[in-house]
């Protein structure tokens, strides 16, 4: 009778913990039991492992096998523990080397024929193993490229349980098998559309560049066909490349949701556009058993676009308030809390009324006035409060189309260079503060002595406040946008022009 142990990783949110997998063979009635808080998919590992081992030509012992996953209090999900369990069992009856399996962290789900299936969450899992000082991981061959993205750790890709057993010293001849490869779903915006496609609509084009430069959230209001969706899709292309830490985070989230990574980290900001029928769990993450990231997390360090925003259920929209505030989503379960990053840039688009024609000019609106009022009121005040840029988008006219034909239009690449420069200027100014982009800066700081603007610059804005045309909150938003305009234009601080332009960029709907 014998005992053996090896390691696997349990993920909760993006953080992982090392799990020790112990197998013990005892002389009781034959059987195989799994203890240590496994979920339903993991409890079925006993059947998968027994069948896979038999079909690989290295069957498990006929005696009683007890498998313990520790620490027992840590919830463990999914089928990614199969390989570790199978190898611990084989090592317990000395089919393979106990010393060798004890030194390696194993990942992978087994197919019944003994081949290894690619498993979600390999990147954060291998990063955890590396962080905890492990030097070798064994992964399904379909995940090998993804695991190799983690520096300073030895990665062994295996196609089947038999190959894994042979690597660990089993005395068996190799049998080549057809490996199961990962299917990589291309990221949603494979080719980023260009800003130069937008004709006319100069306000909206400027607003988009300012949103990118200052990290401001945007609300686009306008009739159908005004180009709201078209504009929003061009925002990710204006954002700078992800820095190394963000790139790892975005790639880890993608790996966790099982979409596959291929052989490179993601370096461009993601774009997520959930449909308006999305549930709260789809938006912020959740699910029973394993807690999965939602669209808001998938959009982290990129853009979350809510098209036809008033059509979303209010609880779904309100669920976004916590991540907008903190940049994180915490999902609580009775036995665990999962944290996911969710610092996205929000873009919402809406028609002005249910029929969409209000204020469009050509067709008249058929909605009763109170239906029109109720429509936009579905987006709650606290959510709108966080949106700096609120813009009316108009349909372009035939005259604008003709006029625009000959003019030079801004391309995404040239705009991105200016965005990068503007962000660098803001980061330098905010160097001694906890913030990096203008959208994060609270109002009192902007009105405080070190950066207060001269009365001559803010005269127009002060007048609007006096007349009640704008609230204090609106005042702060205008200041934030004015600073971004100054950064974008390469000025050291905003003048009356930038403040005036900023007032215009948020004349949209609320004050």
Classified as helix, coil or strand, 138 is strand
**With respect to ligand ADP, which residue has the nearer C-beta, 50 or 234?**
234
The least distance separating ligand ADP from the CB of residue 505, rounded to whole angstroms, comes to 17
**With respect to ligand ADP, which residue has the nearer C-beta, 374 or 395?**
395
Supply the DSSP string of 281-302, one letter for each residue: HHHH-B-SSS-B--HHHHTTTS
With CB under 6 A as the contact rule, the residue among 65, 91, 221, 226 that binds ligand ADP is 226
Classified as helix, coil or strand, 325 is helix
222 binds, among ligand ADP, Mg ion, none (CB under 5 to 8 A by kind): ligand ADP
Closest by CA position to 20, among listed 126, 124, 106, 93 = 106
226 binds, among Mg ion, ligand ADP, none (CB under 5 to 8 A by kind): ligand ADP
**With respect to Mg ion, which residue has the nearer C-beta, 229 or 411?**
229
Closest by CA position to 506, among listed 391, 397, 355 = 391
The least distance separating ligand ADP from the CB of residue 306, rounded to whole angstroms, comes to 12
Q: Which stretch binds ligand ADP (CB under 6 A): 12-20, 36-44, 221-229, 489-497?
A: 221-229
As given in the structure block, the two tokens for residue 250 are: 């975005």
**With respect to ligand ADP, which residue has the nearer C-beta, 142 or 237?**
237
The answer to whether the beta carbons of residues 23 and 89 sit under 8 Å apart is yes
Classified as helix, coil or strand, 31 is strand
Closest by CA position to 437, among listed 227, 261, 231, 214 = 214
Classified as helix, coil or strand, 355 is coil
Q: Which stretch binds ligand ADP (CB under 6 A): 116-124, 134-142, 226-234, 408-416?
A: 226-234
The least distance separating ligand ADP from the CB of residue 355, rounded to whole angstroms, comes to 13
Q: How many CB atoms lie within 10 A of CB 472?
A: 10
- Tell which positions 192-251 bind Mg ion, by CB under 5 A: 229
Q: Which stretch binds ligand ADP (CB under 6 A): 89-97, 147-155, 219-227, 475-483?
A: 219-227
Sign, Cα dihedral of 254, 260, 262, 268: negative
The least distance separating Mg ion from the CB of residue 208, rounded to whole angstroms, comes to 15
Classified as helix, coil or strand, 11 is strand
As given in the structure block, the two tokens for residue 430 are: 């905010």
Beta bridge mates, 432: none
Is residue 361 part of the contact set for ligand ADP (CB under 6 A)?
no
In the shown chain, the binding pattern of residues 194 to 213 toward ligand ADP, with x for contact by CB under 6 A and - for none, equals ----xxxx------------
The least distance separating ligand ADP from the CB of residue 106, rounded to whole angstroms, comes to 48
Residue numbers at the binding site for Mg ion (CB under 5 A): 229
Residue numbers at the binding site for ligand ADP (CB under 6 A): 198-201, 222, 224-230, 396
């Amino acid at each position: 009778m014998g005992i053996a142990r090896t390691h696997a990783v349990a993920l909760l949110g993006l953080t992982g913990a090392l799990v020790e997998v112990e197998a013990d063979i005892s002389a009781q009635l034959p059987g195989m039991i799994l203890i240590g808080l496994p979920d339903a998919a993991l409890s079925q590992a006993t059947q998968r492992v027994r069948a896979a081992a038999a079909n690989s030509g290295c069957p498990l012992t006929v005696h009683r096998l007890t498998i313990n996953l520790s620490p027992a209090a840590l919830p463990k999900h999914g089928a990614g523990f199969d390989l570790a369990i199978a190898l611990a069992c084989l090592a317990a009856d000395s089919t393979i080397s106990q010393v060798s399996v004890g030194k390696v962290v194993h990942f992978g789900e087994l197919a019944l024929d003994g081949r290894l299936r690619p498993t979600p969450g390999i990147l954060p899992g291998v990063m955890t193993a590396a962080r905890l000082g492990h030097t070798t991981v064994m992964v399904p061959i379909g995940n090998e490229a993804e695991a190799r993205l983690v520096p300073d750790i030895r990665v062994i890709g295996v196609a089947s349980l038999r190959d894994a057993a042979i690597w660990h010293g089993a005395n068996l001849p190799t049998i080549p098998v057809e490996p199961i490869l990962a299917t990589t779903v291309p990221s949603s915006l494979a080719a980023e559309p260009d800003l130069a496609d937008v004709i006319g609509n100069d306000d909206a084009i400027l607003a988009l560049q300012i949103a990118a430069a200052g990290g401001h959230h945007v609300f686009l209001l306008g009739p159908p066909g005004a180009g709201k969706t078209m504009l929003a899709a061009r925002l990710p292309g204006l954002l700078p490349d992800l820095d190394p830490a963000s790139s790892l985070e975005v790639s880890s989230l993608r790996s966790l949701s099982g979409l596959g990574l291929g052989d490179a980290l993601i370096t461009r900001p993601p774009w997520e556009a959930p449909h308006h029928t999305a549930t709260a769990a789809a938006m912020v993450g959740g699910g029973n058993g394993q807690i999965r990231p939602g669209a808001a997390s998938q959009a982290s360090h990129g853009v979350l676009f809510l098209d036809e925003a008033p059509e979303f259920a209010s609880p779904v929209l309100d669920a976004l308030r916590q991540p907008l505030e903190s940049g994180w989503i915490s999902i609580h379960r009775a036995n665990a809390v999962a944290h996911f990053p969710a610092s996205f840039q929000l873009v919402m688009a809406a028609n002005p009324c249910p029929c969409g024609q209000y204020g469009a000019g050509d067709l008249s609106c058929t909605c009763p006035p109170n239906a029109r009022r109720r429509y936009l009121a579905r987006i709650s005040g606290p959510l709108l409060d966080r949106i700096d840029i609120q813009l009316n988008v108009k349909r372009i006219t035939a005259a604008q189309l003709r006029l625009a034909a000959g003019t030079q239009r801004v391309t995404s690449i040239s705009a991105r260079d200016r965005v990068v420069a503007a962000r660098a200027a803001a980061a330098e100014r905010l160097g001694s503060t906890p913030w990096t982009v203008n959208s994060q800066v609270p109002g009192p700081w902007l009105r405080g002595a070190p950066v207060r603007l001269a009365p001559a610059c803010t005269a127009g804005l002060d007048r609007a406040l006096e007349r009640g045309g704008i609230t204090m909150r609106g005042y702060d938003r205008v200041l934030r946008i004015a600073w971004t305009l100054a950064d974008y234009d390469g000025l050291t601080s905003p003048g009356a022009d930038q403040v005036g332009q900023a007032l215009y960029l948020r004349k949209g709907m609320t004050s």
